Amino acid sequence: MPRFELIATTTFGLETVVSRELEKLGYTELRVLDGKVHFSGDDRDIARCNMWLRSADRLLIKVGEFQAPDFGALFDKTVDLPWSDYIPVDAKFPVAGRSVQSRLHAVPAVQGAVKKAIVESLKKKYNRFRFEETGAEFPVEVSLLRDVATLTIDTSGEGLHKRGYREYAGPAPLRETMAAGLIQLSYWNRDRQFVDPFCGSGTLAVEAAMIGRNIAPGSGRSFLAEDWPWMDRRMWKEVRSEAKDLRLPRMPEPILGYDHDPAAMRLCERSASEAGVSGDIQFRVQEISEFKSNREYGVIVCNPPYGERMGDQQEVEAVYRELGRICDLLPTWGVYVITSNQWFEKHFGRRAPRRRKLYNGRLECQYYQYLGPAPPRLADGATGVDVEENKPE
């Protein structure tokens, strides 16, 4: 079975989460760079990682990497790469590109040169002059960073945030991959109450339910590499059915999702039902001021309004104050809040012991983490917090 150099791409700030996910899947020798985790694997690993990675954006095969200070070097070194090992004679192979701090900065010209070079390489191997490109798709990306070209083929197709459960979303939804990352950065596990009091279209609640029930994030969608002729279809079937077998039963107690917008609830219920977790979540129309709980050691993970638009500031400050007041009444809870609003801590009323810079889309945010105390040991010796599996840093 050939081995590939694989790259799980992710949003800046979530690399450690993706590394931890890969470690949990059994991969070692990970190399972490900005927004990328490198590792190696075979066909089955391509299927497993697409199926199971919750916070990665895509899974790429790295075909080659080299210095490309000029078009000559880019072309010649691209021709020399073993493209026919991956790309069959009838394949489509569109080329996308990007360039950061590199001498070759005209991206369309870079893409054109790489396309021509791949054609040249395939011509030699397949003894052909033309390629019809009518078969399966192998999207190539050339990424130039400080004159180093990295050439990859995308195995995922649609970004991994597309789980297949969310057709419509309300305003300012979180990406599913980001939502999963925020949850995995918290100390939540399925034995603790999970609440999102600003649930919007329900992304955090649905992702928490999928994590709590060990539902593979890719089980409701397909991947580009499934159509590749050299991939064994039976193996993909096995990976899917293994994922089904690993599902855990219903959550011991429901996840709670609240929002004051009734229209949001309809989206939530639809998404939860599509994801197969409607029985694990209770959604309710509720103002933040109405939230109370007599439970201990619960966890709030939320994406409240940020007040990015003019005129929203006062309303948002009042929301943060209210959240702070409620959390003061829940001293055993962990509270995790992502926002771009730089005054969040002031209005919430406490400085966060831990924070992390993350990008929600293009918006620079902070993830404020009030960890709360660890739950007491349970009778069987467990702590109630799976520290090894769910280590935030």
- List residues near ligand SAM by CB under 6 A: 169-170, 172-174, 198, 200-201, 203-204, 259-261, 264, 287-288, 303-305, 319
Strand 148-154 to 194-196 pairing:
unpaired
Minimum distance, C-beta of residue 342 to ligand SAM, in the bound complex (Å): 16
User: Tokens representing 243?
Assistant: 């994922």
Of 222 and 340, the one with the shorter C-beta distance to ligand SAM is 340
Minimum distance, C-beta of residue 204 to ligand SAM, in the bound complex (Å): 6
Of 106 and 285, the one with the shorter C-beta distance to ligand SAM is 285
Residue whose pair of structure tokens reads 């075909």 in the numeric block? 63
Minimum distance, C-beta of residue 261 to ligand SAM, in the bound complex (Å): 4
Of 308 and 328, the one with the shorter C-beta distance to ligand SAM is 308
Contact between 321 and 314 under an 8 Å Cβ cutoff? The reply is no
Of 144 and 267, the one with the shorter C-beta distance to ligand SAM is 267
Contact between 113 and 73 under an 8 Å Cβ cutoff? The reply is no
Residue whose pair of structure tokens reads 């193996």 in the numeric block? 235
Of 166 and 192, the one with the shorter C-beta distance to ligand SAM is 166
Of 152 and 360, the one with the shorter C-beta distance to ligand SAM is 360
Phi and psi at residue 43, to the nearest 5°: -55, -45
Minimum distance, C-beta of residue 340 to ligand SAM, in the bound complex (Å): 10
CA 113 to chain centre: 31
Minimum distance, C-beta of residue 268 to ligand SAM, in the bound complex (Å): 8
Minimum distance, C-beta of residue 21 to ligand SAM, in the bound complex (Å): 20
Instruction: Tell me which residue has its CB nearest to ligand SAM.
Output: 200
Write the single-letter amino acid at 20: R
Alpha helices in the chain (DSSP H): 15-24, 43-52, 71-79, 107-126, 176-184, 203-212, 233-245, 262-275, 313-328, 344-348
